[in-house]
Structure 1
């Protein structure tokens, strides 16, 4: 059985696998739940004839046909068992992010595919927060108007006392709070926020564990955030293409909740937009000769309020050297008319206890209208509600123009 196209894998645990440098890596239960429930979102990244690897075999036919009607290309959902038993062949293998564990993730494939996911140990440094920190300092050194100053970007600390001292220094200058980050983390994990200058036993344990496992901790001032956004790129050889930007919703520790569509430019003043354009140019300049970075990547950034209420840009909170939900957002935008206001969201069981009831209610409140492969208005489920357990995703297009 021959299928033209590529096989895609959603592996949100890639950063944690890189930290452990383990081929046979078992992700935490929470990350596994993200993978199982949201792997179908890769439908917004794939090309014509591609296949998306999913956990469950039976996908609701009506939902799949609805999805195909707006994605606008032919693609398939397949399981590892189906691939192995049917001996389906692919042109190439692609993943959300590169990692050592792709060897075990693709254990069901014959050896000829290993060329697509062989692990290069030099990539580990690209996934370390220091890599993004270096991009940030490069942008600051080039004096971008309204960009964050070097005094507000924090530092990497290598031992417990240095962490404690830096927390003290940050609170002296910034009463808003402190945020500590592990060098390798994913899906909002590995981040701790302190609103008070108090090292409790649990905080001490977190710091000591972080240093023991990863060797350093990034200690930063907690900024009074206005909104998050991402700048999305694709690099091939020494050429970097800016694909677009997206504003997004995120929790205090970085959990992704969704994004608005078609409104990115409207978030910025003309002066801020000039700075964004300069930041994009600087990112291209800084990374064009970086041999270890290849393919799609995203730069997470934010706009925050200063002490006097003025707005500043933090141009690189982190770099994600892989596909991101921002790239999914750009794919979703193609399914919505440019003049329509829309958003897509990811919700959890903590927010919506019954996904089936929620979907029925939203379908009744917001009837779906599709014309010429675009959602003109209404509610579109982005996952098969019968297959998800902890995470649900949907698109909502309002019947009004921007």
Structure 2
């Protein structure tokens, strides 16, 4: 009998991974995000699977969506978990805190990764792996990027003071978190931050600052037996501080076309093939699941003209990510001639999220064509008076 697939959205995963503690308790905001966006996996879940979420609000919303679109999943609540014994569990990301939580809910421990596996995945999620990989991806003159793993106070100080600006990163931290932008002065604050990070994570990642024009990613799937396949492109945007803000909803071909305005498309193909090989050697037999490699297109002034290069490995996300989610969401549920964007918003005041949801629903009415979203606004999770988080797509026909 095949195992039933269970999806779990645990966006606090990066924070839990950085802590490494089985008893890790995420901040209230991360727990609220996990609860309010619990149904997000329904947009990438495979047919016949289940998504872990409370039934309040979520059950009605799922039924409404199933009347509009063919979404072949069901909802399961935490108390029901133990009553179905044979799960194949697909969380956003695996960490020891999630393992402990699921074991506490009555999930058979044989269905959970071992502590050794989890320790190995944490090791491979460390940004020092991306530093090593980056140097191996400088395939030709269309590539750029340097990054260093520094372990001593002397190295941190020298790196910061030798440049007008640089970026220091914690080796384990969430998207856009654990970043320290420096301006040539190794201040007591930066020194203290580096010392604290290195005490728990071994060192600090140090990078120059690039003139970025596009954020994108190549997504892959590792089968755990050494095979790594390309899963598609992701074109996303981040705020000034580096925090993730949302993804474009486009076909793979459209993303390649956009990136090819800056660099030859052969450079992208070479990189994709090289990464399949390198990632297979790095994590192919260690890790099973989706992973993403974040990249940038960077601008350089050269001989009075501008050239663009690919920074091929900003970081490696050894987990499910928004890029894979939007890739699968677009391919399954958005009309092929339409484009759009995906976003996650935070609204701190009660009623604010609902008000914005109602405004967008009225301004951009949803149009379904041939079982797919042709245009309009679609909330990807329920929105109610007490919601703080919204996940949504806004789709426009390509002809506009």
Query: Structure 1's 337 and 144: CA in aligned 2 closer, same or farther, altered over 3 A?
Result: farther
Q: Indicate the SS of the match to 1:48.
A: coil
Residue 305 in structure 1 maps to residue 299 in structure 2: yes
TM-score using structure 1 length: 0.88
Unaligned stretches of 5+ residues in structure 1: 172-176
Shift of 1:299: 0.6
Higher alpha-carbon deviation: 297-306 or 344-353: 344-353
Among candidates 109, 115, 126, match of residue 111 of structure 2? 115
Shift of 1:352: 10
Show CA shifts across 1:90-117 (max 9, x none).
4422211121122222134435353333
Shift of 1:245: 0.1
Shift of 1:344: 1.0
Aligned equivalents of 2:69 and 2:92: distance in 1? 19
Among candidates 179, 202, 213, match of residue 226 of structure 1? 213
Aligned equivalents of 1:39 and 1:388: distance in 2? 15
Among candidates 112, 116, 124, match of residue 126 of structure 1? 124
**Match of residue 158 from structure 1:** 151
Show CA shifts across 1:133-168 (max 9, x none).
22211111xx234100xxx51311112221111012
Query: Structure 1's 385 and 5: CA in aligned 2 closer, same or farther, altered over 3 A?
Result: same
Residues 211-290 of structure 1 mapped to structure 2, 5 A cutoff? 211-236=198-223, 237-262=225-250, 263-269=254-260, 271-290=263-282
Aligned equivalents of 1:80 and 1:62: distance in 2? 17
Aligned equivalents of 2:162 and 2:21: distance in 1? 37
Say whether the 8 Å CA contact 1:135–1:283 is kept in structure 2: no
Query: Structure 1's 381 and 370: CA in aligned 2 closer, same or farther, altered over 3 A?
Result: same
Aligned equivalents of 1:351 and 1:305: distance in 2? 39
Shift of 1:69: 4.6
Shift of 1:335: 1.0
Say whether the 8 Å CA contact 1:362–1:379 is kept in structure 2: yes
Aligned equivalents of 1:59 and 1:375: distance in 2? 22
Residue 382 in structure 1 maps to residue 350 in structure 2: no
Show CA shifts across 1:334-375 (max 9, x none).
211222121111112269971111111111111111122200
Aligned equivalents of 1:90 and 1:306: distance in 2? 54
Aligned equivalents of 2:276 and 2:186: distance in 1? 40
Aligned equivalents of 2:351 and 2:398: distance in 1? 30
Say whether the 8 Å CA contact 2:350–2:387 is kept in structure 1: no
Aligned equivalents of 2:103 and 2:3: distance in 1? 21
Say whether the 8 Å CA contact 2:161–2:186 is kept in structure 1: no
Unaligned stretches of 5+ residues in structure 2: none
Query: Structure 1's 110 and 351: CA in aligned 2 closer, same or farther, altered over 3 A?
Result: closer
Aligned-CA RMSD value: 2.5
**Match of residue 342 from structure 2:** 344
Shift of 1:383: 1.4
Say whether the 8 Å CA contact 1:144–1:278 is kept in structure 2: no
Say whether the 8 Å CA contact 2:146–2:208 is kept in structure 1: yes
Q: Indicate the SS of the match to 1:180.
A: strand
* Length, aligned pairs only: 387
Shift of 1:198: 2.7
